[in-house]
Amino acid sequence: MATLDFDEVTNSKINLRKEPSSPRSLFGLVMTGISAFCLALTIIPLVFVIGYVLFKGAARLFQPGIFTQLPPPPGLSAGGLANAILGTIMVVALATLIAVPIGVLAAVYLSEFSGGSQIARWVRFAVNVLSGVPSIIAGIFAYGLFVAPLIGNSGLFGFSAVAGAIALAVLMLPTIIRTTDEALQIVPQDIRWAALGIGAYNYQTVLKVVLPAAIPAILTGVTLAIARAAGETAPLIFTALFSNFWPKGIFEPVATLSVLVYNFAIVPFRPQQELAWAASLILVLLVLATSIAARMATRQR
């Protein structure tokens, strides 16, 4: 019986793999080219958008007073974005304080204590539906419940930072719940069994073993939710409204960067338009900073 030498078989396989004219190699080259083209189509608009915003907003961003002064009256060039920056921090911080505990606890129940029940499946379905709801719907929801006058009295909060935070929290919840739920499910089941095997209760296993292991992914989801909330405009128009003055408290109307961009971009005065571009650049930098922070937290963990 004839036998084949091992080196001959190996060399023949290598030659087949390197054969450029084979249909498989041609198909691989074509698909690689299509993938590279699609990647370019994805990156090119992003580069152009960031570059254009940087070109239009960088000049005003480095002028004195941009971070310390209030917006100027129509037609005047002096002024800044200090109240809008502070208002954005206030509203997003309040929304984070509302959304993170609710979202994390809901995800913990879905992943650790629901047992795959019908209720858990319906909750996951509702979260997926909520993630696709337009942001203006969340604004109308918060306006109808917390801003609009009720029968015989005024609204619960009126136009305020709290009402805006509630609207943004509604938008942040789906991202936080989904990422936390997936992060908890990724934690190996053996770790839970090991903790239970040494006498830990279920809640101790979740608090001291499962959650610490899933913190990087949870932080990523939270930062992504914050980045989305910081750039929303429609919910804040219905809730936080706007103010040309310093924030007086969380129960008063406040200025935010996204609403300032909307208000100043449509006016015919050049100083206000320049401020709108500068505010747009600040929003882009905030989103970039949160994304970098999420990557660093995940890598360090």
In a shared domain, residues 47 and 147: no
User: Are 109 and 43 in the same domain?
Assistant: no
Please indicate, yes or no, whether residues 38 and 88 belong to a single structural domain of this protein: no
Give pTM, 2 decimals. 0.82
For residues 87 and 254, is the Cβ–Cβ distance under 8 A? yes
Kindly state whether residues 42 and 128 are assigned to the same domain.
no
* pLDDT score for 16: 46
Residue 69 lies in a domain: no
Same domain, 201 and 271: yes
In a domain, residue 74? The reply is no
Q: What is the CATH number of the domain that holds 287?
A: 1.10.3720.10
Q: Beta-carbon neighbour count of residue 10 at 10 Å?
A: 10
Instruction: Judge if 52 and 111 occupy the same domain.
Output: no
Taking the CA atoms of the chain, what radius of gyration do you get in angstroms? 26
Residues 104 and 216 in one domain: yes
Which structural domain range is residue 15 located in? Answer: 6-61
Report the alpha-carbon distance of residue 109 to residue 121 in Å, rounded.
Answer: 12
| Domain assignment present for 66 | no
Residue 181, token pair as written in the block: 């739920």
Residue 192: HSE in the Cβ half-sphere, 13 Å Cα cutoff: 16
Residue for token digits 């305020």?
160
Domains held by the chain: number: 2
Q: Is residue 72 part of a domain?
A: no
Query: Would you call 292 exposed, middle or buried from its count of C-beta atoms within 10 A (0-12, 13-18, 19+)?
Result: exposed
- Which of 241, 248, 116, 264 lies closest to 167, judged by CA? 241
Q: Provide DSSP, the chain.
A: -----HHHHHHHHHHHHH-TTSHHHHHHHHHHHHHHHHHHHHHHHHHHHHHHHHHHHHHHHTSTTTTTSPPPPTT------HHHHHHHHHHHHHHHHHHHHHHHHHHHIIIIISTT-HHHHHHHHHHHHHHTS-HHHHHHHHIIIIIS-BTTB--SS-SSHHHHHHHHHHHHHHHHHHHHHHHHHHS-HHHHHHHHHTT--HHHHIIIIIHHHHHHHHHHHHHHHHHHHHT--HHHHHTT---SS----TTS----HHHHHHHHHTSS-HHHHHHHHHHHHHHHHHHHHHHHHHHHHHHH-
Is 152 part of any domain? yes
Contact 147, 159 (CB under 8 A): yes
- Residue 86 and residue 57 share a domain: no
Tens digits of pLDDT across the chain (301 residues)? 445 554 554 555 445 444 556 778 888 888 998 999 998 888 898 888 888 888 888 888 888 788 888 888 877 777 889 999 999 999 999 999 999 999 999 999 988 888 778 888 898 898 988 888 889 998 998 898 888 875 445 667 888 999 999 999 999 999 999 999 988 888 888 888 888 788 877 888 888 888 888 888 888 889 889 988 888 899 999 999 898 889 888 999 999 999 999 999 888 888 888 899 999 999 888 888 877 877 776 665 5
Q: Other C-beta atoms within 10 Å of 154: how many?
A: 10
Evaluate whether residue 55 is within a structural domain.
yes
Residues 129 and 268 in one domain: yes
Same domain for 48 and 88? no
Same domain? 41 vs 115? no
Residue 285 belongs to some domain of the structure:
yes
113 and 190 share one domain? yes
Residue 290 in domain:
yes
List beta partners, residue 71.
Answer: none
